[in-house]
Structure 1
Amino acid sequence: MTGATAPPPALSLRAALAELRAGPPGAVVEHDEPADRTRVADHFARAYAGVPARGVSRPEPAVLYTAVPGGPVLLGLYGDEERLRRWLPGLPERAAPETAARLVAEAVRPNAAPVAVSRPPCQEHRTTGARVDLSGLPVPVLTPRDAGPYLTAALVRAEDPATGRTALSAHRMLVVGRDRLTVWMVPGRQVKALYEQAVREGRPLPVTVNIGVPPAAMVASALNTRFLPDGLDKLAVAGALAGRPLAVAPALTQPVSALAEAEIVLEGYLDGSVADEALPGAEPRGSLPEFLGFDGGARPGLPVLTVTAVTHRSDPVFQAVIGPGREQSAVLGAAGALSAALSLRPVLPRAEGVRVRRLHFAAAGGGMLLLAVAVRKESAAADGGLAVLARELLERHPFVKLVVFTDDDVDVGCAEDLLWALVTRSNLGADATAWPRLPPVPMDPSQTPDWAAVRHGAERPPGRVSVDATTPYALRSRTARSFRPEAGLAATGHCR
């Protein structure tokens, strides 16, 4: 692969950075002053980050801190939805049930599957065995309250040799030793299922941890496996997003593949060993800033990943995210909208008269809590069909707190247009529906029992909510916009 034509931005972090550098000034910012790895996240948050890290609504630039020992460190690469769409030719312009289904259809085609290569860039430099020492990596400490240095933008690749199943997902990983990481696996993730099965059978689960991955892999990793065809590899979905297959290569010390274009790869295994999410000798307390903008809590007894090799490209770029900010919201939101669209397909016949035109996760909810759904009502029956969709979305997507339905003349990707629909096409006292039987989102402070007790005088949070901000079918002509958008603009456009 060495010496081949440079891959497109979808298939390489370096190619994505090169594309940004070739564009308008300001898309890539470099800081060459000496910087400690404990300070870069705070500097990025204060100078560049947007909602929900700070009350700023603007794209984030890609920022390279070139003078961090062991660096450079990259933050903000995905801090602009338009940037992602430009890099990923297979990403639907609007997430809807039919466009998500077409993407999956492309992913199951043989030409989307990952291809194995020899001499991959990610293995230009190799360290194995007793020489492995993670302290040489510029792993940021995001705040003084963090448990320690965390990997925040790394993808875990697992391949179960017994079943052939694969997993690809991002996890927060705390460096707790020269060759050890704790891994927080959110319930429901495929890698957690593979890990638990391996532990039950008394065998290790081999994995690679890929840092600085192709943009197509990053977005595909955030898709919900349960809504994909059984056995479909997320790397095949990444190939559909990129319009070309991703390159993989066998790891050196484990029977699992690595992303060939990754900047840095950690090879290792999970064998059932556990440790608290804390540095040796410390009690588990805080973890790191979560995607909603608040500090998270450390977890006891997390799986431990033992690293057997570290490989990297020449002059590797260490990519990280700060947690809250537009960057993580853009990735989670793009993948989440596709997952939500796929989950709706089985229930659409029961939502009579409703055509789902676009789904969009707002950055204000970290790309997960606030889902806006633009619909077209095709008959009077549609007035009652939205409740069917609301129940499906809230039951099958446990991080969705609020679903807002709008008409399809509203650009649900524009926060101001979404607010306009809420203000003019709903009366929240009557048009908001609480779903109290659904479990709360525990990382949201307003859904905790303490909050419910103080605010509502109740033991249980009031539940998740859907809002109908659509015009009743019989009254559509009375609320037509004076200046109507161009055909299709509200369903496919972006806030400007």
Structure 2
Amino acid sequence: MTSPKQHDTTTDAPVDDLRSAIELLSRHPGQIISTQRPVDPKGELAGVYRHIGAGGTVMRPTRIGPAMMFDSIKGFPDSRVLVGVMASRERVALLLGAKSEDLAHHMGKAVANPVQPVVIKSEHAPVQEVVHRADDEGFDLRTLLPAPTNTPEDAGPFFCLGLVLGTDPDEGHSDVTIHRLCVQGKDELSIFFAPGRHIDVFRQKAEARGEALPITINMGLDPAIAIGACFEAPTTPFGYDELAVAGALRGKPVELAPAVTVDQHAIARAEIVIEGVILPNKRIREDTNTDTGLAMPEFPGYTGPANPSLPVIKVTAVTMRKGAILQTLVGPGEEHVNLAGIPTEASILNACEAALPGFVKNVYAHSAGGGKLLAILQVSKRGAFDDGNARQAAIIALGAYRELKNVFLVDDDVDPFDTNDVLWAMQTRYQGDMDTMFLQGVTGHVLDPSQTPEYNPALASKGTTCKTVFDCTAPWHLRKEFVRAQFQDVDPRPFAPDLFPGGDA
């Protein structure tokens, strides 16, 4: 991956919801397209976008491309579906008003300076312009919202960008996270929790009392909200409301409104909110309606098995804006890379800066790891002691983000966002028997199919792994042997103005 070009955002209006984000993208050529051609949400929509702009770990052929609005959805005459808003790092940078290579720094400052959300009156919440109650005659999620399937083998239709908002029943603080939500019936969804998710802890506390957990599922959001919600502990521990990250990014608080049917809040400027409760002591097989044995494509690029026993959300209402847009993503695509990866980068950068000030210059959570499993750390050595500090930085990174599996260390003359440059460093500044560190039997991620005892009998359980550090930095005492060829520094813009917009002819 090469470093993308930047846009001038100085004249862009501020973004505070999905519609203003779309308006911003529409003013920048190549960032969003639309089609009136009817598309089936069952497999076809994702199949189309696979070729347009999915990227990530999607099976080739795919590419990074524009976001795409589907204006005509088969079976849903009044619905629109938007995919790929955050499916390029360049576009995320545009939406957040930053340079793509500075996103980790930009996000790191935001998480360190949170701006808490505020509650407004329901009459001022655009997302409650239209209300469908589950006890209304004819209410049916399956016909109301065009939840897509990514492949014909999916367990069912999924809401792939639903930001779940829940509250700790003991402590009273709230949290937001994105989860896998499968439509199971006219008013029921299943929800998949990866181990350690805060809202699952809230659910367990409520269930221990025999109580339901009130939640809202917020869809069609300001991208700052979606990306900010993807920070994890220890960067955002229990009690940290990730909506405050979006508040910091935008310089104003996220607005919430009381939900219509449950004791919970909804994001006021969302496009669609599903209200409901997670039922205590009720479970459902994820592929109950299809018997495919599979769930949906996840970030590592594989379609995982359907979970045999998932908690159930009983839907009580759906509220939406007039002309609401359903936002989705392609499971293993570049959109997941950015949602998960940019907060990962910021978490690692902040942790390394606290321990080794000024040493780690940048971090890239690589697309090949879905934004979770692989990180490139660019370090700046200043003395012999920094040979050890480079490896210490890798250990800090693994502690800052527990799902991280592999770390590459590169010098500050290597572009961490350019895979060819990183692999060049590996070929010329790395010896496998002396520059590789192994950390065995460490917690990883359950969706990586290699992290199982069946794959590696040395692993105690699914979701544990051997973590690896590849030190592709030049040894300090040999640094003069590893100076890259130095070219004359020439401004190319007068020679090729079409390749460098804004340059002098």
Q: Structure 1 length as normaliser, TM-score?
A: 0.87
1:60-459 equivalences under 5 Å are 60-68=65-73, 69-70=75-76, 71-89=79-97, 94=102, 102-107=109-114, 112-117=116-121, 118-131=123-136, 132-135=139-142, 136-160=144-168, 162-228=170-236, 231-280=239-288, 283=291, 285-344=293-352, 347-348=355-356, 355-439=359-443, 441-452=445-456
Change (3 A) 1:476 1:94: farther
- Aligned partners of 1:144, 1:29: CA distance in 2, in Å? 25
Distance in 2, matches of 1:440 and 1:168, equals 22
**Which residue number corresponds to residue 48 of structure 2?**
43
Q: 1:123 and 1:91, CA in 2 relative to 1: closer, same or farther beyond 3 A? A: farther
Q: Is the 8 A contact 1:426 1:470 kept in 2?
A: yes
Give the distance between the partners of 1:243 and 1:90, measured in 2 at CA: 14
1:197-254 deviations in whole A, cap 9, x for unaligned? 1112332211110111110110011101432365231111111122222221111111
Structure with the largest fraction of helix: 1
In 2: Cα distance, 1:11 partner to 1:95 partner: 19
SS at match of 1:182: strand
Judge conservation of contact 2:341–2:366 (CA < 8 Å) in 1.
yes
Closer/same/farther in 2, CA of residues 47 and 92 from structure 1, 3 Å limit: closer
Tell me by how many angstroms 1:162 deviates: 4.1
Instruction: Select the residue among 12, 15, 35 that pairs with 2:17.
Output: 12
CA contact (8 A) 2:52 2:66 kept: no
Unaligned 5+ segments in structure 1 are 1-6, 487-495
Tell me what 2:6 maps to.
none
Which stretch shows the higher mean deviation, 277-286 or 363-372? 277-286
Deviations 1:51-91 (A, max 9, x none): 31134685321111111033211111111112111221479
Cα distance between partner residues in 2 of 1:230 and 1:463: 27
CA shift in 2, pair 1:362/1:236, >3 Å: same
1:53 aligned partner, one-letter code: V
Map 1:469-484 → 2, pairs under 5 A: 469-483=472-486
- 1: CA distance, partners of 2:318 / 2:470: 49
TM-score, normalised with respect to structure 2: 0.85
For these two proteins, the number of residue pairs brought into alignment is 470
Q: Following the alignment from structure 1 to structure 2, what is the Cα–Cα distance between the partners of residues 246 and 462? A: 38
Q: Displacement, 1:147?
A: 0.7
> Per-residue displacement from partner, 1:356-406 (whole Å, max 9, x unpaired)?
111110111111111000111122111122333333333553321210011
The AA in structure 2 aligned to 1:431 is D
Separation in 2 of the partners of 1:129 and 1:439? 40
Q: Which residue of 2 aligns with 1:4?
A: none
> Alignment identity in percent?
33
Residues 141-173 of structure 1, C-alpha deviations (whole Å, 9 max, x = no match) = 111111111111110011235422111110001
Contact 1:150 1:172 in 2 (8 A): yes
5+ unaligned residues in a row in structure 2: which ranges?
A: 1-11, 490-499, 501-505
Maintained 8 Å contact 2:118/2:255: yes
1:134 aligned partner, one-letter code: L
Give the superposed CA RMSD: 2.9
> Does the CA contact (< 8 Å) of 1:129 and 1:308 recur in 2?
yes
Are 2:472 and 1:466 aligned? no
